[in-house]
Amino acid sequence: MTRKTTLNLDAHRDSLVDVLQQILAQPDLNVPKLDKLLRRHARACGHLYSRDELILGYRTFAGQAGLPPYDSALLERLRLKPVRTSSGVTPVTVLTKPFPCPGECIFCPNDVRMPKSYLSDEPGAQRAEQNSFDPYLQTYSRLQAYYNNGHPTDKIEIIILGGTWSFYPESYQIWFVKRVFDALHDFGSGIDHRAEVEAALRGTSQLHPDHNTSNVVLHGAALAQTYNQAVQAVYHDEMHRSRQVAVAIAQGERPRTEIDEYATWDELEAAHRENETAACRCVGLVIETRPDHISVEEVLRVRRLGCTKVQIGFQSLNDRVLRLNRRGHTVAAARRAVKLLRQAGFKIHAHWMPNLYGSSPEEDIADYARLFADPDFRPDELKIYPCSLIESAELMARYEDGSWRPYTHDELLSVLTECFLRTPEYCRLTRVVRDIPGTDIVVGNRMTNFRQVVEDALARRGQRSRDIRAREIRHRDVEPDCLRLDETAYATSSGEDIFLQYVTEHDQIAGFLRLSLPSEPPLTPELEGAAIIREVHVYGQSVEIGETSQGKAQHAGLGTQLIERAARIASERGYARLGVISAVGTRGYYRKRGFEDGTLYQVRAL
């Protein structure tokens, strides 16, 4: 893998080697000490070496000029934002293009430049717009940024965000996922087609930054048109061209280019097979959708895409609140969606919103309690998104007439501390407060670090959250002999789940497994008579495939031990087989542990 840089490495060789040797000599080097060291070795122009320049220098000169051979341990000291990959995988988020949405939620932003509910000032949205919303460009550029900053790029979780995934045309979905895989494969092979793709987009696509110059702005207090109407008007030519191209390609009337939004299932499945042994493997694929777009057919179709986790917006478990906010579905739809997703083995990543129009702090606390008290819900992961007032959202009208107001700091803190205390240890709070720039928020909370505020408040009371994220071992070393295995069983709408976790004496979690023991008929004959492993996750700083790292949880054999324990439990409970909803890039891992390939799942006889 190579990287373009304006720094002449040969001219800076002696200075870079000197800095790297000093870093090697200080195993306890922290960020302040490193920054001080870099200031002592400032370049002639006064600029300091950046982390990515140090990393590139190390990769270039390792094994030369007195430097030892390449060692990922040194790279770990230089790594920028190690927390990004400290959960064991490297997350790559990509956004779909602006497109109509089936929802009419009054709290949702109406930014015509973005897919529904996203804002052009959000970091991930900015990256998507800069890359013309193209899946190949977004994926490749993100991988390059991770590589430049010293992160592993072999175990990738792909997170596809943007509006309602299930509402996009199927041909677009297949193409989008395939192009993500194409980027993984090209990056891992040192091939870079970004220039050609970017040039093609510049020449034909309205979504290219040079052409996407829409000045349509919607004001929520007085919407002259809906988001869908505006998007269809602004991108009419782009949408028409995409449809015409897809039809022409499908009918064999014209050749295809890499930016044409069309691919076949056979082509995607071929990309899946290639990824099983690729240098950059997809170890998780996430999409987001609405409860009312989940059906048996949709669940199995999304699974065929390679999906392993679904982000799904509950927003509220109160039908009155859902109706007032024009959410467009009932709580019953959320119940049905969760049941179908569980039956198919998916991880369920819910979104929940306090401070919605028509709710109150007291109602929110009771609503959150229902998330985990009711077996029909009990999500595996959760994003808590307190409602933020965005000028383009229709909620502006409710704010201006006085029927809605944002919670005060103390009210929001009170709600969230109660939420943290009510979150069980099998759930991971992946985000608390959405990363919306303060300049986009009309009124209300602008603090994006509210999780820390809540944790500090709990600590002052001698309490803490028990959720997974609060207990992850991250980059700390582990001694496998000092871990204990805890098992928690809880009822679900499709049977019973058992959460197995390896924890330290201080209750830090080093790895876990989610085992489903279904009592309902399976959605596919593949899972007949089978218990289902819905997730295996070993924490700690992501370590590259094929490497070992002393003391790292990812190489302590915890995954295998969890699988074997799950197999024993399933056998004892009368199941003849054990299935797993494996990601494309983990199929080889499960084959080595006795699982055989099916069409959508891998299954092992017990």
Give yes or no: residues 56 and 98 share one domain. Answer: no
Q: Where are the beta strands (DSSP E) in 493-529?
A: 495-503, 509-518
Distance CA 561, CA 541 (A): 19
Domain of residue 562, CATH code: 3.40.630.30
Sheet strands side by side (includes 596-597): 484-492, 495-503, 509-518, 530-538, 577-580, 602-605, 596-597
State how far the Cα of 288 lies from the Cα of 348, in Å rounded to an integer.
Answer: 10
Contact between residue 346 and residue 309 where contact means Cβ atoms under 8 Å apart: yes
Picking from 78, 99, 126, the residue at the C-terminal end of a domain is 78
Task: Based on the fold, state whether residues 404 and 480 are members of the same structural domain.
Answer: no
Within this chain, do residues 68 and 101 fall inside the same structural domain, yes or no? no
Evaluate the CA torsion angle 295, 341, 89, 378 in order and state its sign.
positive
Widest Cα–Cα separation across the chain = 72
Q: What is the pLDDT of residues 163-185, one digit of tens each?
A: 899 999 999 999 999 999 999 99
- Assess if residue 5 is contained within a domain: no
The tens digit of pLDDT for each residue in 44-99 reads: 777 788 777 888 888 888 888 778 787 766 676 666 555 555 567 899 999 999 99
Asked whether residue 307 is domain-assigned, the answer is no
Average per-residue pLDDT in the chain?
91
Mean per-residue pLDDT, 578-582:
98
Rounded Cα–Cα distance for residues 108 and 123 (Å):
18
429 phi and psi, to 5 degrees? -85, 95
C-alpha–C-alpha distance, residues 420 and 429, integer Å = 9
In the numeric block, the tokens 């390679």 are attached to: 306
Q: Examine the domain organization and report whether 162 and 285 are in the same domain.
A: yes
From the CB of residue 109, how many other CB atoms can be counted at a distance below 10 Å? Answer: 24
SS3 call for 291: helix
**DSSP H/E element including 605:** strand 602-605
Same domain, 334 and 279: no
Please give the Cα distance from 166 to 189 (Å, whole number). 32
**Number of other CB atoms surrounding residue 430 within 10 Å:** 15
Check residue 478 and report its DSSP letter: -
C-alpha pair distances (Å), 426 with each of 239, 338, 347, 486: 42, 16, 12, 11
482 and 399 fall within a common domain: no
Instruction: Measure Cα distances from 507 to 391, 465, 469 in Å.
Output: 43, 12, 12
pLDDT at 549: 47
Are 180 and 139 in contact by the 8 Å Cβ rule? The answer is: yes
CA distance 392 to 283: 37
Percent of the chain past pLDDT 70, that is, above it, reads 93
Q: How many CA atoms lie within 13 A of 162 on its CB side?
A: 27
Instruction: Answer whether residue 7 is part of any domain.
Output: no
* Residue finishing a domain among 289, 324, 353: 289
Instruction: Answer yes or no: do 461 and 551 share one domain.
Output: no
Per-residue model confidence (pLDDT) at position 540: 64
Looking at the fold, whether 428 and 386 belong to one and the same domain comes out as yes
316 with 284, same domain: the answer is no
Q: In angstroms, rounded to a whole number, what is the distance separating the alpha carbons of residues 179 and 139?
A: 9
pLDDT per residue over 312-370, tens digit each?
999 999 999 999 999 999 999 999 999 999 999 999 999 999 999 999 999 999 999 99
In a domain, 4, yes or no: no
* pLDDT at residue 176, rounded to an integer: 98
Of 133-147, 195-209, 242-256, 270-284, the least confident: 242-256
Is residue 213 scored above 80 in pLDDT?
A: no
Residue 161, helix vs strand vs coil? strand
Bridge partners of 310? 287, 348
Do 389 and 441 share a domain, yes or no?
yes
**HEC sequence for 85-137:** HCCCCEEEEEECCCCCCCCCCCCCCCCCCCCCCCCCCCHHHHHHHHCCCCHHH
Distance, in Å, from the CA atom of 68 to the CA atom of 66, rounded to the nearest integer, reads 6
177: in domain: yes
Last residue within a domain, chosen from 78, 111, 133: 78
pLDDT digits (tens, 9 = 90+) for 239-265: 998 989 889 998 999 889 889 999 999
> Which run of H or E residues covers position 380?
none
Q: 158 and 188 share a domain?
A: yes
304, part of any domain: no
- pLDDT surpassing 60 at residue 554: no
pLDDT band at 186 (very low <50, low <70, confident <90, very high): very high
Same domain, 205 and 317: no
Within-domain flag for 306: no
Angstrom distance (rounded) from CA 221 to CA 190: 50
Give how far Cα 188 sits from Cα of 90, 156, 224, 279, 551, Å: 14, 11, 48, 5, 27
Distance, CA of 291 to CA of 537 (rounded, Å): 26
Instruction: Please answer whether residues 261 and 171 qualify as being in contact, where contact means their C-beta atoms are separated by less than 8 angstroms.
Output: yes
What residue type is 405 in one-letter code?
R
**What is the total count of domains within the chain?**
4
* pLDDT tens, residue by residue, 511-552: 999 999 999 999 999 999 999 999 999 986 444 555 444 445
| Residue 448 or 160, more confident | 160
- pLDDT recorded at residue 57: 80
CA dihedral for 386, 392, 395, 400, sign (positive or negative): positive
Burial label for 481, CB within 10 Å (0-12, 13-18, 19+), is: exposed
The boundaries of the domain holding residue 452 are 312-471
Is 394 a member of any domain? yes
